[in-house]
Amino acid sequence: MNTRCYDTDLNDDAWAWIAPAEAQSRSPEAFEHWLAELEIPVLRALVRKHDLAPVKRTQKWREPEKFAKLIADQIRARMQRGAAFLTTGSITNL
């Protein structure tokens, strides 16, 4: 199933920038499901772009669900670590 909603050619690196915004706009379960519907090259680009795992760890993976779980867990962990440094109102100053 192709989840791309654009007629233009978005390369895999372009999709790598979309995922973090999606993580904030969806519930954790919905985000992981959304990721599992993406194509393997896009998921590989996400892992590579955001340095979520060593390349050799995911090199032989062929199941989107494995990538989805890894990406969702890593992004969620990074968001939680970063949230510890934010104070009330600091988001509006960005």
- Rounded to an integer, what distance in angstroms lies between the CA atom of residue 91 and that of residue 93? 5
Q: What is the pLDDT of residue 15?
A: 62
pLDDT band at 93 (very low <50, low <70, confident <90, very high): very low
Q: What is the DSSP string of 12-41?
A: HHHHHHHHHHHHHHS-HHHHHHHHHTS-HH
pLDDT band at 7 (very low <50, low <70, confident <90, very high): very low
Tell me the residue type at 71: I
Predicted TM-score (pTM) of this structure: 0.70
- Rounded to an integer, what distance in angstroms lies between the CA atom of residue 65 and that of residue 37? 8
Average pLDDT score over residue span 24-33: 89
Surface-to-core class of residue 67, CB atoms within 10 Å of its CB (0-12 exposed, 13-18 middle, 19+ buried): buried
Identity of the highest mean pLDDT range in 17-21, 50-54, 81-85: 50-54
Encode pLDDT of 29-81 as tens digits. 999 999 999 889 889 988 888 888 998 999 999 999 999 999 999 988 888 88
- Rounded to an integer, what distance in angstroms lies between the CA atom of residue 59 and that of residue 25? 29
- Rounded to an integer, what distance in angstroms lies between the CA atom of residue 27 and that of residue 5? 20
